[in-house]
Chain A
Amino acid sequence: MERSEVFERLNEIFRDVFDDENITVTEETTSSDIEDWDSLTHITLISEIEDEFDMKFAMKEVVGMKNVGEMVDIIIRES
């Protein structure tokens, strides 16, 4: 899977979960860049991504991911 394709699909999920059509994520996007991205919405986001890409994050990744770039690395590796 191409990186750009992952980002495209991720943007859709982010816009849907955070209910904001203006979100565009980049490699460096972190939870502090998106207002509603807290521990409550984090798991919803993770589950949506898992369903979309048909993969599973390990717990250490759920807790330890530093930015969207790392998230994309894992998605490409696992799906």
Chain B
Amino acid sequence: MSFTTLKFLIFFAIVFWGYFLIPKRFQWAWLLVGSLVFYAFSAWWAIFYLLGTITVSYGCARWIQSLSLKQKESLVGVKDKNEKSKIKASFERKKKWVVVLALVLLVGLLVVVKYTNFILKNVESVFHLDSFALDIVMPVGLSFYIFQNIGYLIDVYRGQYEAEKNYFKFALYISYFPHVLQGPLDDYEAVSAELYGTHEFDYARVVSGAKRAAWGFFKKLVIANQISVVIDGVIKSGGTGHEGLSIMLSVVLYAFWIYADFSGYMDMAIGMSKMLGIPIAENFDSPYLSKNIAEYWRRWHITLGAWFRNYVFYSVLRSSWCTAIRKKFKKSKYLASTVPTVLALAIVWLLIGMWHGAAWSYIMHGIYHGGFIILGTILDPVYDKLHKKFPKFYGSKFMSAFRVVRTFTIVTIGYYFFATGAPSLSLSLLKGSCHIYLAGFVQFLSNNLRELIIIGISLIFLIYMDFYNAKGDKPPLGDVVARQKTWVRWTLYFVLLFAILFFRAYDVGDAFAYFRF
């Protein structure tokens, strides 16, 4: 069930009013029932996938917890140091086996559902076989909630916090409807207290959440959907029948489309959750104002980056073989830190590419971004020297602006791979960009004039918001609006509402970009 359908708005109204009308101790249970109904609406059979993963990680986390408890009990009264470490090692080994078992089940499910056909298709084309692809439909949100399950399990294994005792409370953490379909990947420790806590109806908070959600609706329905009307035909055909400038403009617009679509969804999710009194993680921080690719990934899809950092990147770098590499290069400080880092980055970026989808395009996109980050890591000493030698030049406003534009350009070129979903289409899109024919471009502009004007004006607001938020020294714009006179506030609300109602694009569907991941 997409957030932008009437069905969902009715659903949310029931969940919202019910939440504040029922006795407070049932609030979390109400959310659980609502979340399961919400998820079942996407496809009733998918609920078995959701509950299956919940059961596996709940069971294994409890198992690890009980092993930790037994370990503590066994150590009571043991004085001998050797004996102590022996007991510790034996329990650690058992815990490791449990976490490996859970990971095999969870990652295994993801791989089977998401990648079987991709692997089969590649085998077919390599050996020139007849098609034997299977009919597997991926449940929506699977990649997201499996990752949240894995993060929770590893945290419990590492001893970050204790496993949740109540199965149903844990089920709510995974299935909570604002984040189950496309994230944010919420940290159990950060979200659990409010998720299971009780909440009063707080007018100011509800209004503030509703404003955030409304901004998200504007981003999705007006900006993303209008862009979709202009560019879908160009991107999906690999630019066939279009000249170079139209293709380039479409790819630049694609950058804003995916941003408005994904971050708009987050605004809706975060806003609605706030209305219920439950703060969930932010996923975007004005990403297109980043000065380099590494920074871009700390500001774009923040919770996915944090997930890979905590559970893959750190794990690889702390592994025995990375430690061995570091020891091997002991003589050179540069190599000792750079070689393991580059290896870990290569693994992480290959996986990030694959996570986005079972297609060579996504894998190439991951390698492309990873390549820039690895290059940045290798050349770090050179940059450092340059910065120290020309501090004035690198500190100048011109250089900052240049770096922002450069990063945006690199990201946009990356979308040539990402947007089409097939390398052959990406290649044709790239080739098509070289054939510029001015009259064709003017034709393209005039064909889409109405949409382009709406997009242009809305993007001014979007970009202004990003600059405003990126400064970070001012209160959130929503709070500033809340302090204005009544007539100013309501004029603004009506402008936003009418913009959504009149300028939204129809006929482009209700799906969000990240549903397919």
Which residues of chain A have a CB within 8 Å of any CB of chain B?
A: 16-17, 19, 38-41, 43-44, 47, 58-60, 62-64
Tell which of B159, B160, B313, B384 touches A19, judged by Cβ atoms closer than 8 Å: B384
B341 interface residue, CB < 8 Å from A? yes
Interface residues of B (CB under 8 A from A): 155, 158-160, 294, 309-310, 313-315, 317-318, 323, 326, 333, 336-337, 340-341, 345, 377, 384
Residues of chain A within 8 A (CB-CB) of B336 are 44
A43 to B314, Cβ gap below 8 A? Answer: yes
- In Å, the complex CA distance between A40 and B348 comes to 12
Q: Please judge, given known A-B contacts A16-B333, A47-B323, whether A40 and B341 are in contact too, CB under 8 Å.
A: yes
Residues in A neighbouring B384, C-beta threshold 8 A: 19
Known A59-B314, A63-B314: A44·B337 in contact at CB below 8 Å: yes
**A44–B336 CA distance with the chains assembled, in angstroms:** 8
Give the CA-CA distance A50 to B340 in the complex, in Å. 16
8 cross-chain pairs, A with B, having the tightest CB-CB distances, nearest first: A44-B337, A43-B317, A60-B158, A59-B158, A60-B160, A39-B309, A60-B159, A40-B341
CB <8 Å contact, A63 and B326: no
Name A16's closest neighbour in chain B (CB-CB). B333
CA gap between A47 and B313 in the complex, in Å: 15
Q: Which single residue of chain A is at the shortest CB-CB distance from B161? A: A60
Closest-by-CB residue of A relative to B337 is A44
Instruction: Report yes or no: A64 in contact with B160, Cβ–Cβ below 8 A.
Output: yes
B314 contacts A40, C-beta separation under 8 Å: no
- Expressed in whole angstroms, the Cα–Cα distance for A71 and B158 within the complex equals 17
Take A16-B333, A19-B384 as given contacts and tell me if A43 and B158 are in contact as well, using a CB distance cutoff of 8 Å: no
Report B183 CB to chain A, min CB distance, Å. 19
Question: Which residue of A is nearest B377, CB measured?
Answer: A40
Interface centre among A17, A19, A43 (most CB of B within 10 A): A43
The smallest C-beta distance from A72 to any residue of chain B, in angstroms, reads 20
Q: How far is the CA of A16 from the CA of B336 in the complex (A)?
A: 13
Name the B residues within 8 Å of A38 (CB-CB): 294
Q: What is the bound-complex CA distance between A63 and B155, given in angstroms?
A: 10
Nearest chain-A residue to B388 (Cβ)?
A: A19
Beyond known contacts A59-B315, A63-B314: 4 more, CB 8 A cutoff:
A40-B294, A43-B341, A58-B159, A59-B314
Contact of B318 among A40, A41, A59 (CB under 8 A): A59
> Which residues of chain A have C-beta atoms less than 8 A from B377's C-beta?
40
| Given known contacts A19-B384, A63-B310, A43 and B318 CB-to-CB distance under 8 angstroms | yes
Residue of A nearest to B305 (CB): A39
Q: How many angstroms from the CA of A41 to the CA of B336 in the assembled complex?
A: 12
